Amino acid sequence: MSVVAVVATTALLGGCFAGSGTGGEGASGRIRVAMMQPPRSGLSPLSDDAFKLSRWSTAETLVRLDRDGNATPSLATEWRRSGRSWTFTLREGVTFHDGTPLTAEAVVRSLTAAVRASPKPRILDGVDLTVRAAGPRAVTVTTGAADPLVPQRLSSPQLAILAAKAYAGRTVNPVGAGTGPFVLVRADGTSSATLDRYERYWGGRAKATGIDVRYVPDGTARAAALRTGEADIVEAVPVAQARLLDQELLTEVPMPRTNTLYLNTRRGPFRDAGLRAAARAAVDARGLVAGVYEGRADLATGLLGPALPWAAPLRAPVRRAPAADPKGAAITVGTFTDRAELPEVAQLLQRQLEKAGFRVRLDVREYAAVEADALAGKFDAFVLSRATVLDSGDPAAYLYSDFASDGSFHLSQLADPGVDRALATASAAPVGEARRRAIVAAEAAVLATDAAVPMLHERVVQGDAAGVVGAAHDPRERELVTVDTYVR
């Protein structure tokens, strides 16, 4: 590392965890966490910021997912289905961080706020859902069409249950309003967050006394925080930095996350299926895996990767349009800097696409500054690292969100009746083998349009200092610091 890089990194870290203690973090009982992305929506649980609340164990949902994606109890202890309705029994003895009790009324308030939000949480895309109290300690959730995935949907961190105080203003404020083992006591915008142990947690006393969070978008700075002892747990250590660190401090987790090139099918050159096919043919994903990711990724054969091992055996060949000559078509490719590898991926893609005959301009910014333009379809192509089972543990929700005509994360701007039918079939299929086959059929329908070019499946590299015990290594990125995590 150059002297300039060292100075820059030191400046980024300066005061990063002031007051957390040095070498004595175990004595203070607090855990210092360096996170990759700052909040984009004020830590609202109705946004992707919900996953921060979940990773800090401050906000909880009615249901959790086990390792295999099956629904298990959390704030609800049991549930039963009757046609389009599901009734959930609430756990007794649960209090919110402001001391108020968990009641059916509180659950109805939180879930109704999610249903009425604009935009709605992704997990509710295409779902007509209502909720009502079925007694003081039970709620009934009813969907417009029979939905076998209701329990899994309710596990999404975006459907966390918060105290009434969280909904008092124009935005949802989670400070002091969750039910988890840690109470969020302070949120300092895009710089930091502070959590203390909640002594009345229904699941037992947390082993750590609190969590000190700092947002460190710069990947080099995050790696340095682990190297210098500034942080105990570090999210998403960049591949280029991982080889420079003590390998015993790193854990590599195969992720249900696909690095995908989304192509704008509504406007610009990629309205033409032949030019989309030409872009797909130009992409050399092997070069990306070997070069940018230094072998710490898996080559994509579809949108769903090895973290979902059932997908590959169900696949059949996909018929696509033939490639056309780009003839110098000008395209703008966007991506963001928050994931350190993506700008380098974009640069390599630029060379590959130019070799195929496109003229390529890159637009690379922080995610918070680029998301709105991407969702508005202002790019011809967009490079995204996308979690495929983030919300429900079931990829049907991701496929619908990204590729349905009315999906909420519509980077490709796709409006294809055949894709819509396949997605509707997958969404309605019963849990099990039939649903898996329908999901793979929907994946094939999307791939046939070339609206998305899956390139590789990522593995996340998490850094845990030598004294860290019990940090979660969660492929779904829902858990990080749990009730059992502490620093020796």
Burial class of residue 180 (count of CB atoms within 10 Å of its CB; 0-12, 13-18, 19+): buried
Extract the tokens encoding 13.
Answer: 């870290």
Any idea which residue has 């710490």 for tokens?
Answer: 296
What's the whole-model pTM score? Answer: 0.75
Which structural domains are found in the chain, ordered by start? Answer: 3-40+180-232+465-487 (3.40.190.10), 63-167 (3.90.76.10), 254-459 (3.10.105.10)
Q: Is 419 left (phi over 0), alpha (psi -120 to 50) or beta?
A: alpha
Q: Return the axis-axis angle of helices 417-428 and 433-449, rounded to nearest 10°.
A: 160
b/e sequence 257-276, b meaning 16+ C-beta within 10 Å: bbbbbbbbbeebbbeebebb
Cα distance between residue 305 and residue 302, in whole Å? 7
Token pair 């906000």 is at which residue? 59
- What local confidence, expressed as pLDDT, does residue 13 receive? 52
Residue closest to 231 by CA, chosen among 464, 485, 11: 464
pLDDT beneath 50: ranges in the chain? 1-12, 14-15, 19-27
In the prediction, which pLDDT does 19 show? Answer: 44
Res 9: pLDDT: 46
Q: What does the pLDDT read at residue 16?
A: 55
Q: CA–CA separation, 337 vs 364, rounded Å?
A: 7
Q: What's the chain's Rg over C-alpha atoms? A: 22
Report the 10 Å Cβ neighbour count for 116: 9
Integer Cα distance of 122 and 133 in angstroms: 24
Type of residue at 166 = A
How buried is residue 337: exposed, middle or buried, by Cβ count under 10 Å (0-12/13-18/19+)?
Answer: middle
372: exposed, middle or buried (Cβ count in 10 Å: 0-12, 13-18, 19+): exposed
The whole-number pLDDT of residue 24 equals 37
